[in-house]
Amino acid sequence: MKHALILLVLSSVASAASDPFLPASTLRYEPTPLELMDDCRGAKKRAESALAAVARMPQAVRTFDNTPWELDRIGSELSDRTASDVFLKYVSLSSSTRDAGNECETLLGKFYVDMYSREDLYRALKEYAAKGEPLSAESKRLVDKELLDFKRSGLDLRQDKREAVLALRKKLVELEAAFGRNINEYKDFALFDKAELDGLPEDFIARLETAEGKYKVSLDYPDYFPFMDNALNPAARRVLEGKFNNRAARQNLPILKEVLALRQKAARTLGYPSHAHFILEDRMAKSPKTVSDFMARLRKKLRVLGSEELRVLRSLKFVFEGGSSDAEIRAWDWRFYDNQLKRVKYAVDSQKIKEYFPADHVTEQMLGVYQKLLGLKFRLIENAATWHPDVKLYEIADASGGGPIAYFYLDLFPREGKYKHAAAFPLISGRLLPDGSYQKPVAAMVANFNKPAKNRPSLLTHDEVKTFFHEFGHIMHQTVTTARYGRFSGSSTARDFVEAPSQMLENWVWDREVLQSLSGHYLDHSKKLPNELLGKMLAAKNADSGLVHLRQLLFGSVDQLYHGWPPSNTTAAYARLAKEVSMIPMSDGVHPEASFGHLMGYDAGYYGYLWSKVYAEDMFSRFKAEGVLNPVLGRRYRTEILERGSSRDEMESLKAFLGREPDEAAFLESIGLKAGKKG
């Protein structure tokens, strides 16, 4: 999922006059770069003025509403007012607008650094807290979290150290934004002749551009993954993998080195042993040791699976390459032989299967699943103004009736300059407004599924269907929130829990009944995925699950190492861990860390994908026992997990839904392992 930054919606949505239920038209999706920055600076200036008013207020008149809640409102209002300004960095067709969006994001990042570095605001908050007024649990949680924010910004340090931390944080905002922008804007491709495309589907080849008499294969997901899965020529795969894992290397390697050093320096100035200690203090895991123990325990179990899986893949490689095989699964081999294993052992033909998952039909049916499960009703808003013709806007209402409670956008297909991955962006945050009304949340799902072709619609692989369910799970988390304060709204939870709700919902694409409803041949939607194909897919669910999860452990291990004791050579450290953890060596001459975007938004937190998956599978165990489309249980899940956001401790929400303490058993079982100790 994309980091819960201040990334917000982008359009004036549709004309409010044509639909009285649409949000107020305060946002624009086609500003000039100059207009965008004027708007961004103006919103920042108004927020600074509001903060000054809080700071100069006499102690005697301080209340919860005019101090801690006002601080939350100021930050939330700034985010809402700069929604389009920031989000257009990720989706605009104009490179100059994307640059302006990046500039705005950097400006706002510095504003938040400044906000929580202000001694007068910290004093104001402490003055209020000292009154000891009785508060609800959620309101007390807001005060405690805000006090911790100021403390973690160095406000308990002497002046010179505070100023040092402030300068470091501001510099980091610039560098982190540049790192992400360099990945987003990076363009490269490889040229192959027809023979080098052997094994690739005809529809894939037909949509490729040509240059210099050869076929042009980009590094974007809709090109890269099908190529690596299907290209029979190992030399061709090696070329593309080399380019893919060198994205933005020239620009980002020096940035990464500086970022790691500055983060470490800031953490130590604040009194933490490392940046990892600083980050994990307010996560569920609490400490690097807890994370290390969790990953070590899981790695030990996964290596048993992974070793056997590698043995099988090496045998398969020998079948394909014969005497020329080096008996080693390389970085450019793994996806290909994983795909071949599914074809050979399980007779799973991903190209045949995707004929049954046209994107339009999957979208319609997926929305139906979510509506039934969570007690919601979605309505497509026709002719809504958006940032691109491909984008669709929907409103969300409760199935029991009433007006809309939230909105979401779907932006599913790739285009030049667009964010390269799949992500759900929390746009306008749901929160209680001063007049007692509740602000309707808005979110956007951004993906890069293959575009419809002239004679064929967009067809999704089963993995892409799973991605769709995952990201839309984030959308639900972000939009059905009932949290009182913006700070706790939607997916603004502890980072090592934020993936759990969306990961849980991936399980629906492995259910026989749901898969049948999602499927429908692109030539005739009434023709469902044949039982034979469906059975083979389900049988192959855990094929290479050891290697898949060891790969996730690799990313988590790299992240923890970089932020525990930054290595002098990040590439050499990555290569060492690749061999030790994933058991698949890193290719020579590549620098995968340069395009590891999560190092900026998930710094010292990538372990959270596996950590939260433990809780995801535990939550799903209830649906598995009581019915995956059980609307009563789905409504309970909506109430106890999705609506709560971070308005209470995440562990409390888990216990409330599960009715017991969480454990690892369901997760281990889901990937073919025996249960172990709690994580």
Q: How would you write 577-643 as a 3-class SS string? A: HHHHHHCCCCCCCCCHHHHCCHHHHCCCCCCHHHHHHHHHHHHHHHHHHHCCCCHHHHHHHHHHHHC
Closest to 332 in 3D by CA, of 575, 546, 574, 587? 587
Backbone angles phi, psi at 524, to 5 degrees: -160, 100
Integer Cα distance of 178 and 172 in angstroms: 10
Closest to 10 in 3D by CA, of 35, 27, 32, 22? 27
Backbone angles phi, psi at 666, to 5 degrees: -65, -40
Closest to 82 in 3D by CA, of 16, 19, 153, 31? 31
Angle, CA 315 vertex, CA 312 and CA 320 arms, to 5°: 125
- Residues 391-396: contacts with CB within 8 Å, 24+ apart? 393/11, 393/13, 393/14, 394/367, 395/21, 395/22, 396/479, 396/480
Catalytic residues: 471
**What 3-state DSSP class applies to 423?**
strand
Neighbouring residues of 368: CB distance < 8 A, sequence distance ≥ 6: 517
Write out the E strands in 119-200: 189-192
Residue 425 in tokens: 């962006």
Neighbouring residues of 493: CB distance < 8 A, sequence distance ≥ 6: 645, 646, 650
Integer Cα distance of 510 and 574 in angstroms: 33
Integer Cα distance of 96 and 256 in angstroms: 25
Integer Cα distance of 358 and 290 in angstroms: 43
Per-position b or e across 411-426, b if 16+ CB within 10 A of its CB: bbbbeebbbbbbbbbb
Per DSSP, the residues of 450-471 read PPP-SSS--B--HHHHHHHHHH
Integer Cα distance of 520 and 528 in angstroms: 5
Q: How would you write 259-314 as a 3-class SS string? A: HHHHHHHHHHHCCCCCHHHHHHCCCCCCCHHHHHHHHHHHHHHHHHHHHHHHHHHH
Other C-beta atoms closer than 10 Å to the C-beta of 187 total 10
Integer Cα distance of 629 and 517 in angstroms: 12
Integer Cα distance of 671 and 674 in angstroms: 9
Q: How would you write 101-137 as a 3-class SS string? A: HHHHHHHHHHHHHHHCCCHHHHHHHHHHHCCCCCCCH
Integer Cα distance of 431 and 69 in angstroms: 11
Orientation angle between helical segments 68-81 and 33-56, nearest 10 degrees: 170
Strand arrangement, sheet containing 189-192:
189-192, 214-218, 209-211
Orientation angle between helical segments 68-81 and 83-91, nearest 10 degrees: 50
